[in-house]
Amino acid sequence: MEVPLESKLGMSLDDIAGNKKFRGRGKKTAPSKEGDIKKKVFVENLNFKTSWQQLKDHMREAGTVERADIFTKKSGLSKGCGLAEFSTEEEAKQAISKLNGTKLDGREILVRAYDERPERSEKPERKRSRDAEYRKDKTSGRQLYVGNLPFSVEWRHLKDIFNKYAKVERADVISKKNGQSKGFGYVLFETRKDAETAFEQLKGAVIEGREIKLDWDTGKSYEQN
């Protein structure tokens, strides 16, 4: 049975950090203080036609939006993600709980806490992740192999999908040396029961038009056909 999931094409924070071009309301500023960062939310899977004004209007459902930005490529085209800054931390938390998973311009957006320091939180772990590293983390019966993934799916999207059905400890999409996805990954759960639940619920699920392949990770080498 197909799992109702919209296409998830948001860019990672470390990708944005390397090219902070954007279009939106307000000026570029120096790195925010800790309190200011907590007032911001990161928004992914935006329609490439969505403007900063449309994003701002949508975010207003959670509170007063001080500014909204759409991150863009050098060409000026949208990267499909952006940020919104609220007046208070409470409003930012409200945006995450209320607006994550809502639809904007026909796409199910992802709203999460914003972090301007991706090199400290994501880049070291995710950029260097490889198949071998997962063997170190694998505990018998808690990890699933996920194959036939769309090449656009990133680790956080994979984690979001499985988190809807069970408690995920970590997830990764295995990539080539050039950074491109190999089309498969792994999901490590908190317990064996969580893994079993996810396996039953997502067996045969379709993500972005592709039926994913689930298997218990036994340590063998997988390659996408």
Successive 10-residue mean pLDDT values, the chain, 225 residues: 42 41 47 69 89 95 95 84 93 94 90 62 38 49 91 90 91 86 91 93 88 83 48
Residue 45 pLDDT: 85
Structure tokens at 169: 């400890």
- Name which of 221, 218, 140 is nearest 184 in CA terms: 221
What lies within 8 Å, CB to CB, of 92 at 6+ separation is 38, 39, 40, 41, 62, 63, 85, 86, 113
SS3 state at 204: coil
Q: What's the pTM?
A: 0.44
**Which residue in this structure is represented by tokens 């997962």?**
134
Torsion of CA 26, 32, 34, 39, to 10 degrees: 10
Residue 72 pLDDT: 87
Residue 15 pLDDT: 42
- Name which of 43, 44, 92, 46 is nearest 66 in CA terms: 92
What lies within 8 Å, CB to CB, of 194 at 6+ separation is 142, 166, 167, 168
